[in-house]
Amino acid sequence: MKTRIKELRARYDLTQEDLAKKVGVRRETILFIEKGRYNPSIKLAHDIAKALQTTIDELFIFDDQ
Amino acid sequence: MNQRTVNRLWLAATAAVSLIGFVVFGIILGGVLASAVFAVIVATGSASLWVVWRKRQDRKAGYPIKDERTKILEGRAAYYTVFISTYMMLALLWYNFIIAKVFDLPVLTTSTHVNQVLIGLTLATVSVFVGLRWYFMRKGDAV
């Protein structure tokens, strides 16, 4: 799974810390999601998408293979 | 001073005090048990202080103490720790039932070895949990 979190964070000038505080998680969690090493819950994915003014579909790119 | 440096200094200080205490108690009292007890008390106290300090730092910075990732990974570490601890206890039983008799070694009994066994098992279980938690936190959770 790939994400566009980093790209959208840059668009809104948000650091990992800022985003983490907005969605109520630790900074490492955002880091691991960005790297594709942690699959967030639907609730967290929704919260991140909302914080970045996008949708879950737009934020996460699922590799079918 | 950043978080990583503080963590390393804290760990080094704890290890140094534990080691010095272990050696000194071993020399003064001539017993490994007293040394081990001292090392356990220092390590436990230091770890508790570190956890409290870290939580305060996180709270001040506006982070939650635990989020969904830490809860999931700590749960996974605890799950594996239960199994590993069970195997360690089974290993001790096997030692008493078979190994001690075959190799003519002392059998562990409640009147002679209970403290050593309890301290050893406690240390091993805590170490397994801390090690697994660290490993899972670094590895992540991606499928």
pLDDT in tens, B60-88: 877 787 888 989 999 999 999 999 999 99
> A2-58: which CATH number, 1.10.10.10, 1.10.260.40, 3.40.605.10, 1.20.1050.10?
1.10.260.40
What's the predicted TM-score (pTM) here? 0.71
Who among B64, B67, B143 is closest to A39 (CB)?
B143
What length is written for chain B?
143
Q: So where are chain A's domains?
A: 2-58
Verify whether the Cβ–Cβ distance A25 to B69 is below 8 Å: yes
**Chain B residues touching A28 at Cβ < 8 A:** 69, 137
CB contact under 8 A, B69 and A29: yes
How many C-beta atoms surround the C-beta of residue B57 within 10 A?
A: 12
Q: Which residues contact B8 (CB under 8 A, 6 or more apart)?
A: none
For B118-141, b/e burial (b = at least 16 CB within 10 A) is eeeeeeebeebbeebbeebbeebb
**Tokens encoding A8:** 């959208």
Asked whether the beta carbons of B61 and B52 are under 8 A apart, the reply is no
Amino acid B75 reads G
For residue A61, the cross-strand partners are A2
Residues of B in contact with A24 (CB under 8 A): 64, 67
Of residues A10 and B143, more confidently modeled: A10
Strands (E), chain A: 2-3, 60-61
Answer for the pair A9, A27: CB distance below 8 angstroms, yes or no: no
The token pair at B53 is: 């300090």
Q: A28 CB near a chain B CB, below 8 Å? A: yes
Reduce the DSSP state of residue A54 to 3 states and report it. coil
Along the 65 residues of chain A, how does pLDDT read in single tens digits? 788 999 999 999 999 989 999 999 988 899 999 988 888 999 999 999 999 999 999 999 887 65
Assess: ipTM above 0.90: no
Compute the mean pLDDT over every residue in chain B, rounded to the nearest whole number.
Answer: 83
